Copies of this chain bind each other. A is one copy, B any other.
Amino acid sequence: MKTGEKETVSLLITGAWVLTQNPERKIFSPGAVAVRGAEIAAVGPPDELSERYAPAQTLDYPQGLIIPGLINAHTHAAMSLFRGLADDLPLEEWLNSHIFPAERHLNGDFVYWGTKLAVAEMLLSGATTFCDMYLWAGQVAQAAAETGIRAVVGEVLYDFPSPNYGPPSAGLQYSEELCRTWRDHPLVNVAIQPHAVYTCSPDLLQQCGELAARFDTRLIIHLSETHREVADCEAKYGATPVGHLHKLGLLSSRLLADHGVVLSEADMNLLAASGAGVAHCPESNMKLASGIAPVVDLLAKGVPVGLGTDGCASNNNLDLLQEMDTAAKLQKVHRLDPTALPATQALDLATINGARVLGLEKKVGSLAPGMQADLVVIDLDRPHLTPIYDPYSHLVYAAGGADVQTVLVHGRVVVRDRRILTFDLEETLARARELARSLQK
């Protein structure tokens, strides 16, 4: 479609800066992104794009910093309804006396509204894709589709009965149906998600691996999160969790290991050789006192590392801008090296690396022609972001989720000037309060 000399596009969005996160890490200042339907048509100087394109809509942010939508590589979205229910406790007491009893009240309605609540928070803090592991994953998918956020969802699978699908054997069938139902959805992807090596038999793990291969999708598992998990696995199977998966033939580029805190040199080499990815969750690992993941070492070995918030019961927010800050600082103090995990790499974790560990690197994570139009505008007109010398530094070390102004997912404006356009936030907050009251009874 041409209008005179110009091609018609759906949207032209301009800002003071565009950080593309393309392979050359090209920056435009000022910069613009032309959007054609769900896709990015072009990224470049505003003048140049204005000459080439006739946009149906324009969004102009003279003090905006435009970045790729952030990618939350590991969370349990519906746990937003458990935020602050119990904190600062020993892990066993936290799980057995608080989280597991609360989860016994779970149902599909709870998961649906909890996920919508989390989506509101994620969109308003710049996440455009999240990878979720939880029960009633069909409801998670439904909530994602309705709210217009991109998601990788998966039903959590283990050796004991689930309040959702019932007996363990039904879990694989539920997952398979989930794969079929959402196969062609533009926003929702389904992964196979066994919970952990301490809750899944080798047999279940292998069946999960086969199902993931059959549907050519990700196999996602909590792996090497705590010292206790590693010690127990070694005692039971004579191998670390990574070694255990290796022996089961499950290490591959299809695998995403959530947490990856307690990793030996041999574990890291196995992950690197297999092409598997890691979802790093620094704030959860700190709050639960699990330990500090060897992110710098993993990256040096070529293991792709994404960034996740984990669920709200162990963080307690879903703010990836804050998570990048913590990730960078935690590696520095852990290694006593201020050059460790610089701001540019921290942003990589939450963008291109996140896309890669989820198998979405050809769709999202960077701003380039042909990529899906998932992007975020950060408002720089704030005291804590004024003046600006280095946009990477401000993003990682100074900004917070509340500085997000406008968000596009799949070419659609889902947040504009901090208002959610795709669903009723007030209704979601009201339902969340109701569900919390019923939980407390």
Residues A76-93 near B (CB distance < 8 A): 80-81, 83-85, 87-91
Residues A324-348 near B (CB distance < 8 A): 325-326, 328-330, 332-333, 335-340, 342-343
A393 interfacial contact with B, CB 8 Å: yes
A292: contacting residue among B124, B333, B389, CB under 8 A: B333
A64 to chain B, nearest CB (A): 15
Residues A366-381 near B (CB distance < 8 A): 381
**Contact residues in B for A312 (Cβ distance below 8 Å):** 398
**Contact residues in B for A387 (Cβ distance below 8 Å):** 81, 83, 432-433, 435-437
Which stretch from A3-11, A22-30, A269-277, A400-408 is at the chain B interface?
A400-408
Interface of A: prevailing SS: helix
**Contact residues in B for A330 (Cβ distance below 8 Å):** 286, 333
A128 interfacial contact with B, CB 8 Å: no
Instruction: Assess the B397–A316 pair: CB atoms within 8 A.
Output: yes
Instruction: Assess the B289–A336 pair: CB atoms within 8 A.
Output: yes
A300 interfacial contact with B, CB 8 Å: no
A231 to chain B, nearest CB (A): 13
**Contact residues in B for A390 (Cβ distance below 8 Å):** 84-85, 87
Instruction: Assess the A429–B384 pair: CB atoms within 8 A.
Output: no
Instruction: Assess the B88–A433 pair: CB atoms within 8 A.
Output: no
**Contact residues in B for A117 (Cβ distance below 8 Å):** 383, 386
Instruction: Assess the B290–A343 pair: CB atoms within 8 A.
Output: no
**Contact residues in B for A400 (Cβ distance below 8 Å):** 317, 319, 322, 400-402
**Contact residues in B for A383 (Cβ distance below 8 Å):** 80, 117-118, 120-121, 124, 425, 428-429
Instruction: Assess the B332–A287 pair: CB atoms within 8 A.
Output: yes
Kindly state the separation between the CA atoms of A120 and B385 in the bound complex, as whole angstroms.
12
**Contact residues in B for A84 (Cβ distance below 8 Å):** 388-390, 393-394, 397-398
Q: List 16 A-B contacts (CB under 8 A).
A: A84-B393, A84-B397, A84-B398, A87-B393, A88-B342, A90-B338, A285-B333, A286-B330, A287-B328, A287-B329, A288-B338, A291-B336, A316-B397, A388-B436, A389-B436, A400-B401
